[in-house]
Amino acid sequence: MADGVKELCSGLRAGFRRLDKPMFLLVLAAVCFGFVVQYSEMSAGFITRRSMITQIGAGVIGIVGMLLISELDYRQLAAGWRLHLPVTLGLTLLTFTSLPFVYRPEGSDDSAWLRLGIFSIQPGELLKFSFILTLAWHLDRLEDRVNHPPALLLLCLHGAAPCVLIFLQGDMGSALIFFLIFVSMVFVSRLSWKYLALGAGCAAALTPVVWFLLPDYLKNRFLVLGDLENASLKEAYQQLMGRRILGSGMSFGKGLFSDEFTYVYAIENDLVMAHIGQALGFVGAAGALLLLTVICGKILLTARSSREGLGNSICTGVFAMIFFQSALNIGMVLGLLPVIGVTLPYFSQGGSSLVVSCLSAGLVLSVSASDQKRRTRRRNG
């Protein structure tokens, strides 16, 4: 018994030594900052106490999961796609059924949620985690054959499957994130420039088709971007208010618990940066943006230091997810992009998004830990 405890303690100490502490602390800081922002919104009556408790629970699960994944071999996680992909894909497919636990939250554009008892999950978020691992595994298996037409066709089908599935679900924002993750991971896989140019041409050619398939309310969200102040369409109101709320905090904000806050729909998730701006001002919003930027930079450094293509691909996928979600979300608040339901990683209200953002950071920690082991063996060898 004593030997077992000693072995466990030894393993924990070794894991702590391998842990990429700057990356862990950055993510922990982002999660805690998100809690503070959500608590401010709860105090203002924008969200319920139950939503706040759910967010804290999701954050705790995410942090614990991140530490657990950091101790696992990312190669085994990628090779074990047969275990996690059927679960995440199966849950996503359930949203297309009329089962009683499939539901659409009030004001949402799509039925992309499952209510399981007192909890609800968004399977599309969980699918991002599996997609990054499976695509990285696919790219690693291809090795130098990525530019062979048959292999490239299968790779494109791999990337198109979740994009089309989520688009048909009605979640345009998540579908776009899947697409950008795919493009980013393929871009760093030594794909020939001629195929990249061909892909860009095909994407441009398909743009009218995608536009035709969009529902009218989404088309209107694009049409109002040119002049939010004078737009007569109701779709302009949310973004116009979000932008005004963002700037209402001036330099240092009204304070986290002010009684002068202004509410607009989805200020707890899609437009959470607007609340950060009114509560903490330009300084607080810039600080939040800087924190996300440093996290993205740290992920890229881990990708660059990885000596294996698999680790590099995984980190690239995680970077793309966090970077593009952040860019699209902030673009929505500034009125530069339409509101398409993209959360701000770590800060927005939403348990599924928070858990997946933390678990994905765990993959980066796993890659970093593996590199640390390699360097240790090299020193000792």
Is the C-alpha dihedral spanning 376, 378, 379, 381 positive or negative? Answer: positive
Instruction: Tell me the per-residue pLDDT of 81-124, one tens digit each, with 9 for 90 and over.
Output: 889 999 999 999 988 888 888 877 665 666 677 887 777 888 99
Note the pLDDT tens digit of each residue in 257-305: 998 999 998 899 999 999 999 999 999 999 999 999 999 999 999 999 8
Of 41-55, 219-233, 271-285, 348-362, the least confident? 219-233
Q: What is the pLDDT of residue 12?
A: 55
Convert 41-53 to b/e letters by CB count within 10 Å (16 or more is b): bbebebbeeebbe
Read off the pLDDT of residues 295-345 as tens digits, 9 standing for 90 and up.
999 999 999 988 788 999 999 999 999 999 999 999 999 888 888 889 999
Query: Is the per-residue pLDDT at 2 higher than 60?
Result: no
The whole-angstrom distance between residue 190's C-alpha and the CA centroid of its chain comes to 25
Q: With a cut of 60, say whether residue 156 has pLDDT above it.
A: yes
The predicted structure's pLDDT at residue 287: 96
Distance (Å, whole) CA 126 – CA 376: 34
Helical segments of the chain, H only: 2-18, 21-43, 49-70, 74-79, 81-94, 123-142, 149-169, 172-187, 193-213, 216-223, 235-248, 272-305, 309-334, 351-380
- pTM of the predicted model, to two decimals? 0.92
318, burial (CB in 10 Å: exposed 0-12, middle 13-18, buried 19+): buried
| Torsion-angle region of 107 (φ positive above 0: left; ψ -120 to 50: alpha; else: beta) | left
Domain residue limits, the chain: 18-380
- CA 130/CA 283 separation, integer angstroms: 36
Per-residue confidence band for 1, with pLDDT thresholds at 50, 70 and 90: low
Pair of tokens at residue 81: 């796609």
